[in-house]
């Protein structure tokens, strides 16, 4: 496992491990299937662990895929803003940090007095490799 986090419970580290090993997004049910041999029985066990991992910033939720992905910033203590480019052909998900967009959004929310807690930007489209194929 690339990451180790002293505060993680056994279930949380198992879930985080399966997401890290996958190298891409997984649904909660795919995680449950992968962890049946490790004693996971109910979706709720997976959801509870995921909820905490998302809170810690180790895992991001991809709303448009209804899936979860390990944060690709290794050693990072978590971040409130994440952006993903999702290929609709091959399923490749690339995480990046859109600094200019973040600055713009922070200005806007500041002006509006909107209390921002988390931002996830999801770009859907076709990746470079698929576009070239």
Chain contacts with Zn ion (rule: CB under 5 A): 71, 73, 82, 87, 89-90, 92, 127, 130
Question: C-beta of 97: minimal distance to Zn ion in Å?
Answer: 8
When the beta carbons of 22 and 92 are compared against Zn ion, the nearer one is 92
Question: C-beta of 33: minimal distance to Zn ion in Å?
Answer: 24
CA 45 to CA 26: how far, in whole Å? 15
When the beta carbons of 33 and 95 are compared against Zn ion, the nearer one is 95
Q: What is the DSSP string of 3-53?
A: ---TT--HHHHHHHHHHHHHTS-B-HHHHHHHTGGGT---HHHHHHHHHHH
Please count the residues of the chain.
133
When the beta carbons of 40 and 68 are compared against Zn ion, the nearer one is 68
């Amino acid at each position: 496992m690339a990451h180790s986090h002293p505060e993680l419970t056994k279930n949380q580290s198992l879930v985080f491990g399966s997401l890290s090993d996958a190298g891409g997004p997984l649904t909660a049910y795919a995680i449950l299937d992968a962890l049946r041999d490790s004693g996971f029985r109910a979706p709720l066990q997976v959801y509870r662990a995921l909820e905490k991992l998302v809170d810690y910033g180790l895992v991001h939720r991809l709303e448009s895929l209804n899936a979860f992905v390990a944060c690709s910033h290794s050693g990072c203590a978590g971040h409130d803003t994440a952006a993903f480019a999702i290929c609709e052909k091959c399923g490749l998900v690339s995480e990046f940090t859109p600094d200019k967009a973040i600055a713009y959004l922070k200005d806007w929310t500041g002006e509006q007095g909107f209390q921002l807690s988390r931002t996830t930007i999801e770009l859907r489209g076709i990746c470079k490799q698929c576009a070239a194929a």
